[in-house]
Amino acid sequence: VIAKSLPGINFLLGGDYKSLAYKLFASDNPEQKRTKNEGNYYLGIKSTADKVFIFDLQFDDHVTSLVEDNFNENLINLNGFARLQLSDIGLGIYTNYQKQFFTTDSIDNAGFNYFFFRPTVSFELFNSVKAEVGYTFTNSGGQTFNNIFASFGLRISKNIILLGEFSPNAEFLTSGLLLRKNDYFNPIMFDNLFYRKSNYFDVAVKYEYERYYQIDAGLRYFKSGNLPYFTNSNNSGQFDIAMADANHYNVYLNLSFHFGPYGVLYGSFDYFRVRDNNDNKIPYQPNLKGNITYGYEFKKGLLGEVLVDYYSDRFTDISNTTKLNSFFNLGFKLTYKLQETFILNLEMYNLLNRDIFYWQGYMEKPLDITLGFNLLFD
């Protein structure tokens, strides 16, 4: 990662790359190997110091491949934001362009496009109400999804803020992104999905006390006629993507506590209700999900973190006949900054040696240990 700053302008350049080798041991051929490669590269420039005009531009390149399956995806992502502030009125533009290059044995470097464009007008009243309204345009492969956008923030008291957003939208979901979520996904027969989220809204209450702690709780909802979910593939031991007409509810609670010399504590807790029109639960979607992380700096540059994840049980099929058990996953992370430009990382998960299944037929390692390092360039 390289970060540079000029007066009022920040530059960012960075990337990472990893390779993972594993076997499809839930398939008819448990010795079948996979080598998955992932690369992420980004370049950005941002100016937020000027009170009249601010902008943020970023170029990302996400490369995903499976060596044995001759699958390659190169996803280019261009994000842009600009705002002109005229007294209490602001004029803004949000843009996103994505280009997917897709190669398999039968497809040679096919190209797919996604466009997102949202002009907005924002204003502030009495130093306690901020609002922004606009219109969202999205397009991919001749498919369009356009709708109004609105958001607001209302300061109820010194420490309490009410937030709301109405932003129906359509996302660009590609085979490479799904493979990153599920190592056992079969990306060969799927290219991308124009994933519509109708009637999307998010309402939350935030409580904060200086920099010591922050609590926010809220509700998100959207309806989708093509909500994607993983399902068993005809290729043994792999997963395909199916779609459902479904309603998605998410009640959430996020916590952040800073105890000074005694460390920091973060937590997130979610309740999900995601069901199709037949009232069936969407596969691999837990009802409850939680995470708690406690971090403590033993000395300058040496940070230890204890992590606890929880997933409730999840069905593995849309008919809701089979399910995976709930689990707790206890982990530990150690980060040691040897120099300003060299950081060592140690990560350990499933310390309680639980039977953890994220995907049907694939149990996580009884003790998963990862050792790595980060190089920073100035």
Strand pairing report for 314-315 and 264-276: unpaired
Phi, psi (5° rounding) for residue 141?
A: 55, 40
**30, part of any domain:** yes
**262, part of any domain:** yes
Phi, psi (5° rounding) for residue 302?
A: -120, 110
**155, part of any domain:** yes
Whole-model pTM? 0.92
**279-313 in b/e burial notation, b at 16+ Cβ within 10 A?**
ebbbbbbbeebbbebbeeeeeeeebbbbbebebbe
User: SS3 of 178, please?
Assistant: helix
Residue 133: CATH number of its domain? 2.40.170.20
**CA 280 – CA 229 distance, rounded (Å):** 13
- Which pLDDT score is estimated for 1? 57
Average pLDDT, the chain: 94
**10, part of any domain:** no
User: SS3 of 179, please?
Assistant: helix
**2, part of any domain:** no
Q: Could you say which residues of the chain have pLDDT below 70?
A: 1-6, 377-378
What's the domain count of the chain? Answer: 1
Q: Provide the domain limits for residue 212.
A: 15-375
**144-175 in b/e burial notation, b at 16+ Cβ within 10 A?**
ebebebebbbeeeeeeebebebbbbbbbbbbb
198-207 pLDDT, tens digit each:
999 999 999 9
**200, part of any domain:** yes
First vs last C-alpha separation in the chain: 8
217-253 pLDDT, tens digit each:
999 999 999 999 999 999 999 999 999 999 999 999 9
**5, part of any domain:** no
Contacts of residue 309, Cβ cutoff 8 Å, sequence gap at least 6: 290, 291, 328, 329, 331
Task: Calculate the alpha carbon distances from 61 to 13, 36, 58 in Å.
Answer: 12, 17, 10
**99, part of any domain:** yes
